[in-house]
Structure 1
Amino acid sequence: MTTPPASEAPLLNRRDGAVAHLRFNRPQVLNAIDAGMAGAFLSACKSIAGDASVRAVVISGEGRAFMAGGDIASFGEGPQAIADTLIAPMHEALQILAGLRAPVIASVQGAVAGAGMSLALACDLAIAADDARFNLAYVKLGTSCDLGASWNLPRIVGLRRALEIALLSDGIDAAEALRLGLVNKVVPAAALEAETQRLAARLADGAPAAQGMLKRLMRDALGHDFPAQLQAERQGFAACAATADFSEGVAAFLEKRPARYTGG
């Protein structure tokens, strides 16, 4: 089987130094997910997980939308086929991303709907163009959500507001998304790529062990009682303090210079 040209591949996967870029590439259907895209996304996430040189990950969409959800044209294959060929690989990919030491950034524009919104919520940080429009949308198709929306959304906005967003599925513009905490920053559409790259480069310069530990602590916190979380923090600090990057960070602070983290 021949590999399609990069311009025709459902997912574009490139590196910019320590930053990995995964870009959904079905702009003709607003990057709606089909089985091919889901499989490519999982494969790329597995590759990133095995590459210690990746220090930040950016997930974006080609064209005028980040992602308009699942490809409804393929839903006629039946619920089991959708679960096996679309939802299962995407869920596996999201578990990989959550477990990475590298921070994961969603860079979104235009339609951020259904699975696209779920995916943006699953990332560690999100930056949005001012033309972004969010809609969970699942209930409009007579179904419940996937890609972790039911786990992430209540943790970001609270249970009552999460239920409102899910059950009513009203559109949310970029300014409201920022107010609700669905995104970390809103920028002019023309500046989205540059601002995303600036944020990714800043994160890629950080200490990987510390960033990974912070991700784990934050994501696990609501499943722990307070004493258990304090113990996890103590163990996490001890693990980070044993790294060369911790020694570098302390030395840089005392010497009043920028730290140069190597991942050691």
Structure 2
Amino acid sequence: MSGGTEADPTVLHALDGGVSWITLNRPEAMNAVTWDQRERVIALLADASADPAVRAVVLTGTGRGFCAGADLRGAPAAGRERVPGDVARTIRLGAQRLIAAVLDCEKPVIAAVNGTAAGIGAHLAFACDLVLAADTARFIEVFVRRGLVPDGGGAYLLPRLVGPQRAKELMFFGDALGAADAERMGLVNRTVPAGELEALAEEWAGRLAEGPTRALALAKQLVNASLDSDRATAFAAEAAAQEINMTTRDANEGVASFVERRAPEYRGY
């Protein structure tokens, strides 16, 4: 489902049936993400938000790794000795921008985790709206093994997905978590045999691509914001989202199809 370009063979991209397929393609490095790859993925996610032809996004990888973390060897050289503030700036403009690009994408994003997802690679998967995993996939909070603090939004994402105690267990020990255990914890929506992963991703992405795209975008925003909101704020946001959504063609089509007892035909606007 993915086709690359000569200009950027390490990130393959294809648009098929309203689905933007973004595939990390450095299998020899378990898809450890470089600076250039990160910037390309961020750009493709921004394009997906703006392009009405894109109705859903799938993130995946080639080979045995989904994404084995960050590979900083391709980062632009600073040209000077590191000074206080450089590390925080690098994280803010790098790993955090990548995770924010997934969270802020206006189209639903599916992670099809084909193999090891470690460090920022695990957080890239957890930031997606839906996570599908091959039964051979593993998730590793690898930071503690290197004496590092989790970055790329890990301490934000994990407690919201599995609670603070489970999040601390994963971060404190850095043990590899198999796909089946990740599903039981609630980090993965569905685990399937490796040979069935692409077909399931196609099926789920296809269903999303046929859905009311703007309603899905607003629902995504509401759910993400609800985790940081009080009830009054969340209820006000919900009412405002419904008000906005009722101006769309798809919302009116949904109501009309119900009244007319027929299947709706959503067009994404």
Same fold per TM (> 0.5)? yes
Q: In 2 relative to 1, CA 20–83 (structure 1 residues): closer, same or farther, beyond 3 Å?
A: farther
Give the conservation status (yes or no) of the 8 Å contact 2:91–2:151: no
> 2:103, 2:259 → 1: CA distance?
33
Could you tell me which runs of 5 or more consecutive residues in structure 2 were left unpaired when the two chains were aligned: none
Q: 1:57 corresponds to which letter in structure 2?
A: V
State how 1:158-169 maps to structure 2 within 5 Å.
158-169=163-174
Give SS of 1:14's match: strand
The alpha carbon displacement at 1:263 in A equals: 2.2
Give SS of 2:238's match: helix
Give the conservation status (yes or no) of the 8 Å contact 1:122–1:149: no
The alpha carbon displacement at 1:86 in A equals: 7.5
State how 1:138-153 maps to structure 2 within 5 Å.
138-153=143-158
> 1:72, 1:99 → 2: CA distance?
24
The alpha carbon displacement at 1:12 in A equals: 0.7
The answer to which structure has the higher helix fraction is 1
Q: 1:40 corresponds to which letter in structure 2?
A: R
Give SS of 2:69's match: coil
Runs of 4+ residues deviating >6 angstroms? 77-87
The alpha carbon displacement at 1:42 in A equals: 2.2
Aligned to 2:243: 238
The alpha carbon displacement at 1:162 in A equals: 0.5
Give the conservation status (yes or no) of the 8 Å contact 1:45–1:93: no
Aligned to 2:38: 38
The alpha carbon displacement at 1:27 in A equals: 0.4
The alpha carbon displacement at 1:141 in A equals: 0.9
Q: In 2 relative to 1, CA 219–79 (structure 1 residues): closer, same or farther, beyond 3 Å?
A: farther
> 2:89, 2:33 → 1: CA distance?
13
The alpha carbon displacement at 1:107 in A equals: 0.3
Which of 197, 213, 216 is matched with 1:211 structurally? 216
Q: In 2 relative to 1, CA 118–79 (structure 1 residues): closer, same or farther, beyond 3 Å?
A: farther
Aligned to 2:230: 225
State how 1:61-100 maps to structure 2 within 5 Å.
61-71=61-71, 88-100=93-105
Could you tell me which runs of 5 or more consecutive residues in structure 1 were left unpaired when the two chains were aligned: none
Identical columns (%): 37
The alpha carbon displacement at 1:21 in A equals: 0.7
Aligned residues: 260
Aligned to 2:204: 199
The alpha carbon displacement at 1:94 in A equals: 3.0
TM-score by length of 2: 0.89
Query: Please, what is the CA RMSD of the aligned residues?
Result: 2.3
Give the conservation status (yes or no) of the 8 Å contact 1:41–1:90: no
TM-score by length of 1: 0.90
Give SS of 1:253's match: helix
